[in-house]
Amino acid sequence: LISPEEIDVAEAIVRQDEHVQRLCKDVGVPVDQIACDGWAIGYDPDLSSTSPGRFQQCLMYVCPEPHANLYAHPLDFVPVVDTLTGKVKTIEEALKASGRNRIKPPWTRYEFLPELRARAPHNIAFDVGECELISVMFEEPFPNATLSLISFMSLLLPTARHAVSCPEKTRYGLGNLANSLSLGCDCLGEIRYLDAINISNSGKANVVKNAICIHEEDAGLLWKHTNFRPGGRSYSVRSRKLVISFICTIANYDYMFYWNFFQDGSISLDTKLTGILNLHVLAEGEGTGGFGTEVAPRIVAQNHAHTFSLRIDPMIDGIKNSVVVTDVVPLSYPTGSVENYLGNGFQAVKEVLKTTAKGAQDYDHAYDRSWTIINPNKLHYATKQPIGYRIECKNQPKLIPKKDSMIGKRAPFAKHDLFVTPYSPDQYYPSGKHVPGTTKAPEDSLENWLKGDKNIDNEDIVIYLTYGVNHLPTPEQFPIMSAEVLTVNFKPSGFFKNNPSLGEFQAHCDLILRLNS
């Protein structure tokens, strides 16, 4: 992992380098305004062949004053530092190779609005104990366990440009980059906070105060029905959700994760992408080449992708579980036939995934594909079908880098949308334990876990869900980007006897319906 301390060290190394100072001075940048973001280099054969090191390529900016938006002022060169030696290893000067003159940074300021504060009601329905979270949002608690553990395992961020200096962000550890959250700014209402403890670069414990926020929010209408007859009533139930959230920052980007627990037994994960676009400077009259968007004069934001891997260790009323893939399929019988007279017939076609040979799955929009985690040993009293929870996710774009590319090899989890493997205590990281400095995924990685055609039916299983977005920047996302929301839903499917929210408070509204003569 590249620790937060190393990112700070990289910036200090760059600022003190005489060559960097000279390059900045050439385009009118004072030494005290030099800033950079260190990005870990996944693998570079030129660097790795000379000597081992912990390399970061540093994207250069001008910071006109403390707390200014430095990303609006990109510079035209990229130093590569080695934090082991504390020196600049090399400086990538693309303009020098092309024979062009240096490009001065754009000086137009693009700052942000001040924060907006709001107030929220204080009647909460949860409590936090020493080692557990107790919610009384439900009239009765969940009758059976649902999920043993869900965790974020990997994030792939490839850029569109095919140059060597435009690779992916490699592993930093999201938890290591967690923000300390504040009331009225990051969370609203009656808040309970939890601290996080990480390991620093020196091996010491690093406490992040208020890293996790727990609160409740109104979530609109949970359900409603209106009796349309004269004198009828309208029944409405408001929805409230328990929200558990944390936020982490990786250089210019900020990732916000929100677990939402609803009164009808549904669980959703909202991943919100915000922060500042990765920006580069253009020369006068230079185009983007189709790899980005000129969001301001001579400032280009690169096209890129965000791909997440979510590890799901289910426990649907027990350890022995299976996964069912469901496609909504039109009937094959022709219109006018006895079996499909009006031509509108369709049905849900289900298949239990039996072995790891079927364990790599892709989302199919044409059939509205979903996956349900079931317990084949426990049947619902009415449907006589196994109880389960359905996974729904529409944010599953295909991997754009070629599968035989270095990015494709190093991120096997991005090649498919869902993977099912037997549980193993040693199998945790889908791209392997040590990602930086590799050219391909190691033996201990997801693709190899699927080999051998192992049984995944009625077994202790683990699911890896891949989701993300292809990000094509727009000027409206500059100088700071409004949150892009990706959602994964976990919905009960024959898990409860009936609607578990029936005990919630109902608002009765008398209606007067007038009938026209």
102 within 8 A of 56, measured Cβ to Cβ: no
Specify the pLDDT at position 60. 92
Length of the chain measured in residues: 517
Tokens of 28: 């009118």
Quick check: helix, strand or coil at residue 7?
Answer: helix
Q: What is the pTM of this model?
A: 0.81
- pLDDT, residue 319, reads 94
Distance separating alpha carbons of residues 445 and 408, to the nearest angstrom? 13
- pLDDT > 90: what percent of the chain? 53
Terminal-residue alpha carbon distance, the chain? 75
CA distance 319 to 462: 10
Return the pLDDT at 502: 80
507 contacts 298 by C-beta, under 8 angstroms: no
CB burial of 307-335 (b: ≥16 within 10 Å; e: otherwise) equals bbbbbbbbbbbeebbbbbbbeeeeeeeee
6 CA to centre of own chain: 23
Residue 330 confidence (pLDDT): 97
Q: What pLDDT score was predicted for residue 242?
A: 92
| pLDDT of res. 403 | 83
CA distance 514 to 230: 7
- The stretches in the chain having pLDDT less than 50 are 113-122, 131, 133-143, 164-170, 510-517
Sign of the dihedral through C-alpha 48, 50, 51, 55: negative
For residue 39, the model assigns a pLDDT of 86
Record the tokens describing residue 498, joined without a space: 């009936």
Instruction: Give the model's pLDDT for residue 466.
Output: 94
Q: What six digits make up the tokens of 157?
A: 């961020």
Per-residue pLDDT of 101-155, as tens digits, reads: 888 898 888 765 444 344 444 456 666 665 454 444 444 444 455 665 677 666 7
How much is the pLDDT for 237? 86
